Structure 1
């Protein structure tokens, strides 16, 4: 198993343990794509789950993950689209360097949410 496969497997396991049900996790050279289902009631993208995903990604950076752009698609457990969000590589790198605070990173990502 190469490092990329190992990273994806660790991320998927960590997300599942936090109630984020990954349905697809793929990467290309500069983007990580995460599709997941939410059991949260209501409409749209649950902000708390976005935070959980971000926190797991930041923890992976501590384990040696080189940040990439992140694109997420969110669906209900009935597979109805709920929306999407993104985190840009430069934001994640800035956070790792201490140039972007937790609050600023969260706000930037929340501002990208597009409801389905």
Structure 2
């Protein structure tokens, strides 16, 4: 799956993709629909669910996802990431959805 296909899939999930720099690892920036003080966790889940669905449909081979959340097109709000092995662990039932989510949430940068 190349950058344009991945962008299209993410947009289908309602993600306002700003840029995809690479696909292995995925370097994604998206503009949040919730430009408050903190990153909206449900919106993060929407992004992650897009990758999980693509993996389940065998359209995406898990790789690290590095996300930059933009408050506006030129203002970084925060960053987070998800490791390939976390996607694989979820797929193979080695970790729960709660553990997966907790691991990702713990990667949010504290002071940007």
Which band: TM-score by shorter chain?
A: 0.7 to 0.9
* Distance (Å, rounded) in 2 between the aligned partners of 1:25 and 1:90: 21
Q: State the distance in 1 between where 2:62 and 2:30 align.
A: 19
Count residues with an aligned counterpart: 110
Q: Find the counterpart in structure 2 of residue 81 from structure 1.
A: 76
CA contact 1:31–1:70 (8 Å) conserved in 2: yes
Partner in structure 1 of residue 31 of structure 2:
37
Over aligned residue pairs, what C-alpha RMSD do you find? 1.7
Give the structure 2 partner of residue 98 of structure 1.
Answer: 93
Q: Of the candidates 22, 25, 36, which is equivalent to residue 17 of structure 2?
A: 22
Residue equivalent to 2:53: 59
Whether the 8 Å contact between 2:64 and 2:83 is mirrored in structure 1 is yes
Please give the TM-score of this superposition, normalised by the length of structure 1.
Answer: 0.84
Unaligned stretches of 5+ residues in structure 1? none
Q: Which runs of 5+ in 2 are unaligned?
A: none
CA pair 76-41 structure 1, distance change in 2 beyond 3 A? closer
TM-score when scaled to structure 2? 0.86
* Residue 78 of structure 1: how far off its partner (Å): 4.9
Residue-by-residue CA offset, 1:1-43 (whole Å, 9 max, x unaligned)? xxx22xx444323432443210111325x41111000121411
